[in-house]
Structure 1
Amino acid sequence: MTKFLKIAGKILASILLAIVLVLAIFSISPIYRFEGPVPFSGENIYNPYADLDTSIGWKRACLHTHTKVDKGINECPYYPDVVYADYMSYGYDILGFTNHQALTPHPIDSSLYIAGYEHGYNLFKFHINAYGVEKVEKFDHILPILLSQKQFMIDRLADDGDFVQFNHPNRTLTIDRRVMEHLSGYRLIEGDAGFGEKDHGRGTSLNHWDEALSAGRYAHNCINDDNHNSKAHASIARRCSWINTPTPYWKDIREQLLKGNFYTTRVPDFGNGDTAVKHAENLILPRIEDIGLKGDTVYMRLSAPASAIRVISQNGTIVDSTFNSSAIQYVMAPEDPYVRMTAWYDNGTTVYTNAFARYSEGDSPYRDFAHPVRWGMTILWNLLLLAVVAGCIYCYKLMFTSRAPLP
């Protein structure tokens, strides 16, 4: 019995040492010096809809969904051709497959391929969509506790392709106001993705996006289904983006996404299981008919009256509202660093615009904030990790190196 306990103890200790060893190896990171919040300012106001072409309308898109794959992490029971057909039946024009750690070819037309994937196998669900890439980044921090670790992965992935999207911050562990006020380098953010499908509207406040905007971190709100089962009635066609692009090809999509020339919609689960009702309702969703900026006046006109339209500014403060109306306009005050608009409908449909923000230099308020490496802290952090690795190896040798008995 004693021998059995010793063997079991060694096995358990080996497993624990292996876990600590892996965590240490996958925690390597530079340590950065971050710039704090810098609210938008300046005489210029950025209009994400400056190039709006009402003659081509909006193309409905989901740029974050999952399928079954032959190589990669499977979180969906259906292959891309099935998922694509399901989305097209709900009136979608564009579908981007972003499987975990895998690039997925377009199943119907290679010219419609969007080179993107969802990066991240860490335990905190800190996931980033990388777009316009040619390869999959295999490294990740298993426990990305540090702000610097998060920034390191954003930088690494952004350098690989066109740009990155910060996925579902509302359901990512360790994401708080401090993180949102300091991270930069992402161009899109999934503002409404935090509470599943039963949040009773709480997720429509977009708190984390406002925290970033209020700190001068400019990004566009691109919400998506993040669907893992296209046959699940309550999961498909729930969040989408409407892009003012002339074609469904990535070159044009990318250009409009970077400008912010799109809006997003949270869609109710119409029909409560009745697919026919859901299909019909998805084809008659309220839309933005016109939106833009005249002087310092922001305006929007919808295709159907909303129960409430609100103008939201610094720290998520509501600065103007209108009710039972299809239009709103608001004169940006000098003290408004940014404004965005949200329209709520009684049936649960919610429409979000991108942010109009002040800036003084360049073409837009977007800034990739400098975060120089703190070399002293970087050396100390990685030496600490090296010491942990060495300690694990030493303990392992002590346990399994046999010693001859003393005479």
Structure 2
Amino acid sequence: MSLKKENTKFKFLLRILSTTFILISLFFVTIYVFVPSFRFEEPKSFSGRFIHNPYQKLTNHDWEYIDFRDSLMNFNILSYEYGYGLSQARYLCVDYKSKRKIDYPFFQNIHFKQHNINSLNKESSLVIPTNLSDGFKLREIKHLDNYRLMEVLSSYGNFTEYWDTALSSGHRVNIVATSNLNKFKHSIAINTDYKDKDKIIKSLRDGDFYAISYKDDNNLPELKDLKIINDSIFINLSEEAKEIRFIGQNGTIKKSLHNVNQGVYIFNKEDSYIRIEASFDDESVMYFNPIIRHQFQYFFDPILSEVMTEKTWLMRIIYVCVIIFLTKYLLTNKKEKVDEN
């Protein structure tokens, strides 16, 4: 009698565990099923006769260096890092209204990542891909859309290759640098004219700031001017640089100058974008946001990804039918086993 009672308890416990497992599995399957399918435009480099320089309209060239993650609170800007899955895809959400709680726990392809970016943008002013080498493939960076900033310098490393890949594929992306606990510190330089939250968010979106990597924050170099006159880029720095590099399509160094505090580069017709780096004897490096070509007088960002509605709903119907069939099969099979016992 006691043995039969124990056997009944074991079967009851097993039934609870199996039912719980099925429900959890169905939950995860469901959140995967309802991710939309996207169509991505083929990557195209920037082109056109107009040139966009984010620094062109600056009149004040005094800068405040801030640690991006730690100092945003000083301007009443809230941020959090999103990403809980094993894929390691992470996003820094800036000026958010609410936190997104659901993530895809296992694999994530480019459709999941684009859906996350779009969903996060609905609740945050800025969405920034981080942890680039672990969470994103370079071929995905060529296509992912609808974000303006990328964490190029961080404790994860230096990811200018990812930045140039995005820029070379026609995505206007600005640099973000966050502090590093190792050899170098990373900061961004915000114009001192920008004191309130809205102006700082706009500056981050527009790109009229720059990033710097350094060991010692005493007497850091500053940008004095960065203008375009006709087809020539003029840059002027507060300190003499060991090297100024003008970098273009696919991360190619188009021109370098040594031991100068200013430089000129002619923006050639074949140049899709130019970004500038300046390195110094103390190993500090300044990174400036890209100057890019565009086709129309008023610059706007084209939409390079869109949801394929028909395919999305077709796949959802197929997946739902499969889920219903499997659920029915499992429950029927389970009932037959109970009846046999």
2:86 alignment counterpart: 123
Alpha-carbon shift at residue 395 of structure 1 (Å): 4.1
Alpha-carbon shift at residue 162 of structure 1 (Å): 2.5
Given candidates 96, 104, 107, the residue that maps to 1:133 is: 96
Given candidates 275, 292, 314, the residue that maps to 1:379 is: 314
Within-5 A mapping of 1:343-354: 343-354=278-289
- Is 1:266 the counterpart of 2:266? The answer is no
Given candidates 225, 232, 255, the residue that maps to 2:202 is: 255
Within-5 A mapping of 1:215-294: 215-225=169-179, 234=182, 238-268=185-215, 281-294=216-229
| Matches of 1:306 and 1:234, distance apart in 2 | 24
Q: Deviations over 1:157-195 (max 9, x none)?
A: 2122323222232332xx223211111110111122374
| Residue type at the aligned position of 2:144 | L
Kept in 1, the 8 Å contact 2:131–2:156? The answer is no
Kept in 2, the 8 Å contact 1:357–1:365? The answer is no
| Residue type at the aligned position of 2:168 | S
1:274 alignment counterpart: none
Alpha-carbon shift at residue 363 of structure 1 (Å): 2.9
| Matches of 2:187 and 2:50, distance apart in 1 | 30
The 10-residue stretch of structure 1 (184-193 or 366-375) with the greater mean CA deviation from structure 2: 366-375
| Residue type at the aligned position of 2:203 | Q
- Is 1:359 the counterpart of 2:291? The answer is no
Given candidates 31, 45, 54, the residue that maps to 1:39 is: 45
Kept in 1, the 8 Å contact 2:54–2:206? The answer is yes
| Partner-residue secondary structure (3-state), 2:338 | coil
| Partner-residue secondary structure (3-state), 1:190 | strand
Kept in 2, the 8 Å contact 1:309–1:342? The answer is yes
Kept in 2, the 8 Å contact 1:116–1:131? The answer is yes
Unaligned runs of 5+ in 1: 66-94, 98-105, 107-111, 197-202, 228-232, 269-280
Distance 1:375 1:302, change over 3 A: same
| Partner-residue secondary structure (3-state), 2:119 | helix
- Greater strand fraction, Structure 1 or Structure 2: 2
Given candidates 317, 320, 339, the residue that maps to 2:252 is: 317
The 10-residue stretch of structure 1 (240-249 or 211-220) with the greater mean CA deviation from structure 2: 240-249
Unaligned runs of 5+ in 2: 1-6
Q: Deviations over 1:71-101 (max 9, x none)?
A: xxxxxxxxxxxxxxxxxxxxxxxx125xxxx
| Matches of 2:221 and 2:335, distance apart in 1 | 68
Distance 1:328 1:398, change over 3 A: farther
| Matches of 2:306 and 2:48, distance apart in 1 | 23
2:167 alignment counterpart: 213
1:96 alignment counterpart: 72
Q: What TM-score do the two structures reach when normalised by structure 1?
A: 0.71
| Matches of 2:91 and 2:297, distance apart in 1 | 27
2:271 alignment counterpart: 336
1:148 alignment counterpart: 111
| Matches of 2:187 and 2:320, distance apart in 1 | 42
Kept in 1, the 8 Å contact 2:81–2:92? The answer is yes
Kept in 2, the 8 Å contact 1:245–1:256? The answer is no
Distance 1:327 1:224, change over 3 A: same
1:191 alignment counterpart: 152
| Matches of 1:165 and 1:118, distance apart in 2 | 9
Q: Deviations over 1:212-263 (max 9, x none)?
A: 11111111112212x7xxxxx538x711110124143211111211221000
1:80 alignment counterpart: none
Alpha-carbon shift at residue 354 of structure 1 (Å): 0.3
1:272 alignment counterpart: none
| Matches of 2:248 and 2:173, distance apart in 1 | 14
Q: What TM-score do the two structures reach when normalised by structure 2?
A: 0.84
Distance 1:341 1:147, change over 3 A: same
| Matches of 2:15 and 2:322, distance apart in 1 | 22
1:82 alignment counterpart: none
| Residue type at the aligned position of 1:96 | L
Q: Deviations over 1:289-325 (max 9, x none)?
A: 2222222111222222222221110111111011222
Aligned-residue identity in percent: 25
| Matches of 1:10 and 1:331, distance apart in 2 | 74
| Matches of 1:192 and 1:241, distance apart in 2 | 10
Distance 1:284 1:19, change over 3 A: farther
Given candidates 153, 169, 181, the residue that maps to 2:142 is: 181
1:304 alignment counterpart: 239
Q: How many residue pairs are counted as aligned between the two chains?
A: 331
1:157 alignment counterpart: 120
| Matches of 1:38 and 1:185, distance apart in 2 | 16
Kept in 2, the 8 Å contact 1:32–1:148? The answer is yes
1:68 alignment counterpart: none
| Partner-residue secondary structure (3-state), 1:333 | coil
